[in-house]
């Protein structure tokens, strides 16, 4: 797609910064700051241990809802207005969670924060990336979703000092941070409407088979990242008996990986191509998750935490780059990315509740969850092998250039 409307280089950082703030507030903080709060929520008797786990899953369910309503909401208003509204919603949710009025109250606000995260995930790249030169979009998307990594790292460094002031004050502190970031990004969003140009003449273009493969892979990636994302601190602190201090240190390492992940994976997509990068990342992640249950030394756990932490925010620019490889038209790219996000969100929400139920039902067996997660990532890797095998016979009758054009073969 030509970049005839791309703004000057000096103006590019503003929308990228706004996108970073949005991902930081809506996912980096709204989802991941909850993880180090779990022990305190239980110890303060705000909620029972089983309720706290399911409240964490409420954010994942909201993420699915947000992925579904993000584009319709933007059509009724605009991408920029929807993004601003969602950031305000997350900010309000932080302040509301400082008042444990009831389980339903807390669930509703955690659900709303998840809705905002899903909507922002669908809209933020479509709003910013059309203003970025094509050769830099992998790196730019990595910078946008770096906010997720910063939120993960920040949750491990900001939450403990805030907790020393009190649990309610911690929620208020997170709300204040979200408010500052929302204000800082308010005027950074692009004013143009490049993202709204939708060529209707090509509406009937068939979806390349590679896109459906990506949907499946992205779904199993979601199922594979949930256990480490939710249970890593608890595994180290209680499962291994290392205590909450070591658990917090491991979470900081997870956060460091999350900072490195988006930009590194985006750079890989630019240099190696998204398809090869996805294969490499899946192989490394399956190995790391599989090693987690048999690792007990701090050095091993810290290294694995860095690798695992790079995965949740890092696969976002990778999957987005793969969509751009397979789908040339921007309108159809936006539609495919929305569907990919829904696929991811669906499996993430289902996995969140399934792992929570399995964890409670198994008496807190962390190793079982991690092995299932490793299996899910292996399935994501094998899906591509399965498609290659299925396409061997058609490739004998269909010209190779046709398969390349449809995304079936590269």
Q: What is the pLDDT of residue 110?
A: 92
Which residues are CB-contacts of 162 (< 8 A; sequence separation ≥ 6)?
169, 170, 173, 174
Mean confidence (pLDDT) of the chain: 82
Exposed e or buried b per residue across 240-277, where buried means at least 16 C-beta atoms within 10 angstroms of its C-beta: bebebebbbbbbbbbbbbbbbbbbbbbebbbeeebbeb
What's the whole-number mean pLDDT along residues 209-232?
Answer: 87
> By 3-state DSSP, what share of the chain in percent is helix, strand and coil, each rounded to 5?
85, 0, 15
The whole-angstrom separation of Cα 258 and Cα 61 is 22
Question: What are the start-end ranges of the H helices in 274-362?
Answer: 274-291, 298-309, 311-326, 330-361
146-176: b or e for each residue (b if 16 or more CB lie within 10 Å)? bbbbbbbbbbbebbbebbeeebeebbbbbbe
> For residue 220, what pLDDT is reported?
93
| Alpha-carbon gap, residue 326 to 215, rounded angstroms | 12
Distance set, CA 111 to CA 29, 211, 276, 277, 360 (Å): 14, 29, 35, 33, 21
Structure tokens at 191: 């004013």
What digits encode the pLDDT tens for the residues 84-101? 999 999 999 999 999 988
- pLDDT, position 153: 80
Q: Which two tokens stand for residue 332?
A: 């159809």
Could you tell me which of 180, 160, 157 has the C-alpha nearest to residue 21?
180
Angstrom CA distances, 206 to 216, 237, 332, 334, stand at 18, 50, 10, 15
Residues 6 or more apart whose Cβ sits within 8 Å of residue 306: 253, 254, 256, 257, 260
Name the band, by pLDDT with cuts 50, 70 and 90, for residue 406: very low
Of 39, 34, 16, 250, the residue nearest 145 (C-alpha):
16
Percent of the chain at pLDDT exceeding 70: 87
Q: What's the token pair of residue 334?
A: 């936006």
Determine the Cα–Cα distance for residues 213 and 343; give it in Å rounded to an integer: 11
Q: pLDDT per residue over 342-391, tens digit each?
A: 888 888 888 887 888 888 888 888 899 999 999 999 999 998 777 777 66
CA–CA distance, 379 with 409 (Å, rounded to integer)? 20
Q: What is the pLDDT of residue 101?
A: 86
DSSP symbols for 41-85: HHHTTSS-HHHHHHHHHHHHHHHHHHHHHHHHHHHHS-HHHHHHH
Is the confidence at residue 6, as pLDDT, over 90? no
Position 135 scores a pLDDT of 66
Note the Cα 84 to chain centre separation in Å.
19
Q: Which residue has the tokens 């996108």?
A: 19
DSSP string of 213-258?
HHHHHHHHHHHHHHHHHHHHHHIIIIIS---HHHHHHHHHHHHHHH
The pLDDT, as a whole number, for residue 9 is 54
In a domain, 255, yes or no: yes
Assess if residue 196 is contained within a domain.
no
| pLDDT (0 to 100) of residue 280 | 92
Q: Answer yes or no: is 3 within a domain.
A: no
Average pLDDT over residues 223-241: 86
The residue with greater pLDDT, 136 or 354, is: 354
* Residue 369 forms part of a structural domain: yes
The model carries a pTM of 0.76
Exposed, middle or buried by CB within 10 Å (0-12, 13-18, 19+), for 45? exposed
CB 135 within 8 A of CB 270: yes
**CATH number for position 150:** 1.20.1250.20
Please check whether residue 274 lies inside any domain of the structure.
yes
Average confidence (pLDDT) over 252-263: 87
Q: pLDDT, tens digit, for every residue of 304-347?
A: 999 999 988 888 888 888 888 888 777 787 788 888 888 888 88
Distance between CA atoms of residues 167 and 44, nearest Å = 8
What DSSP state is assigned to residue 360?
H
- Decide if pLDDT at 273 tops 80: yes
104-127: per-residue pLDDT in tens? 899 999 999 999 998 998 888 888
Q: Return d(Cα 202, Cα 197) in angstroms, integer.
A: 12
Instruction: Indicate whether 400 pLDDT > 60.
Output: no
Number of residues assigned to the chain? 410
pLDDT at position 136: 72
How many domains does one find in the chain?
1
201 domain-assigned: no
Both tokens assigned to 3: 């970049």
Whether the predicted pLDDT of 60 surpasses 50:
yes
What mean pLDDT do residues 38-50 have? Answer: 79
Q: Which domain, by its residues, includes 278?
A: 12-188+209-406
- Does residue 32 form part of some domain? yes
Split at pLDDT 50, 70, 90, the class of 199 is very low
Cα distances (Å, whole numbers) of residue 37 to 113, 177, 379: 16, 16, 32
Q: Does residue 325 lie in a domain region? A: yes
Residue 7 has pLDDT above 60, yes or no: no
Q: What pLDDT, on the 0 to 100 scale, is given for residue 396?
A: 40
Return the pLDDT at 397: 41
Radius of gyration of the CA atoms of the chain, in A: 21
Contact 66, 118 (CB under 8 A): yes
In this predicted structure, the answer to whether residue 403 has a pLDDT above a threshold of 60 is: no
pLDDT for residue 57: 77
Query: Model confidence over 12-37: pLDDT tens digits?
Result: 788 888 899 998 999 889 888 887 78
Q: How confident is the model at residue 177 (pLDDT cuts 50, 70, 90)?
A: very high
Residue 139 has pLDDT above 70, yes or no: yes
């Amino acid at each position: 797609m030509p970049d005839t409307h791309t703004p000057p280089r000096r103006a590019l950082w503003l929308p990228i910064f706004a996108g970073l703030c949005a991902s930081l507030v809506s996912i980096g903080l709204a989802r991941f700051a909850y993880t180090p709060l779990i022990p305190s929520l239980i110890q303060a008797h705000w909620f029972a241990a089983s309720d706290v786990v399911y409240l964490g899953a409420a954010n994942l369910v909201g993420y699915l809802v947000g992925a579904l309503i993000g584009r319709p909401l933007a059509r009724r208003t605009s991408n920029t207005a929807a993004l601003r509204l969602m950031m305000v919603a997350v900010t309000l949710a932080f302040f509301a969670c400082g008042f444990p009025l009831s389980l339903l109250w807390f669930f509703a606000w955690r659900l709303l924060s998840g809705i905002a995260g899903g909507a922002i995930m669908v809209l933020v790249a479509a709003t910013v990336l059309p203003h970025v030169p094509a050769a830099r979009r992998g790196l730019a998307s990595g910078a946008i979703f770096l906010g997720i990594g910063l939120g993960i790292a920040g949750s491990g460094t900001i939450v403990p000092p805030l907790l020393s002031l009190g649990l309610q004050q911690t929620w208020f502190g997170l709300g204040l941070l979200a408010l500052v970031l929302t204000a800082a990004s308010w005027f950074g969003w692009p004013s143009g409407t490049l993202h709204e140009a939708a060529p209707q003449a090509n509406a009937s273009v068939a979806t390349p088979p590679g896109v459906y493969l990506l949907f499946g892979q992205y779904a199993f990636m979601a199922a594979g990242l949930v256990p480490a994302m939710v249970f890593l601190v608890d595994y180290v602190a209680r499962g291994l008996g290392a205590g909450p201090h070591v658990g917090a240190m491991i979470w900081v390492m997870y956060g460091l990986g999350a900072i490195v992940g988006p930009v590194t994976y985006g750079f890989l997509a630019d240099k190696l191509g998204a398809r090869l990068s996805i294969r490499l990342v899946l192989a490394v992640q399956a190995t790391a998750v599989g090693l987690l249950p048999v690792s007990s030394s701090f050095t091993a756990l810290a290294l694995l935490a860095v690798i695992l932490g790079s995965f949740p925010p890092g696969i976002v620019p990778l999957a987005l780059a793969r969509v751009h490889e397979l789908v040339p038209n921007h309108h159809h790219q936006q539609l495919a990315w929305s569907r990919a996000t829904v696929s991811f969100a669906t499996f993430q929400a289902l996995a969140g509740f399934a792992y929570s139920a399995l964890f409670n039902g198994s008496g807190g067996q962390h190793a079982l969850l991690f092995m299932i997660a490793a299996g899910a990532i292996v399935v994501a890797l094998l899906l591509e092998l399965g498609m290659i095998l299925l396409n061997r016979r058609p490739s004998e009758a269909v010209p190779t250039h046709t398969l390349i054009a449809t995304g079936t073969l590269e």
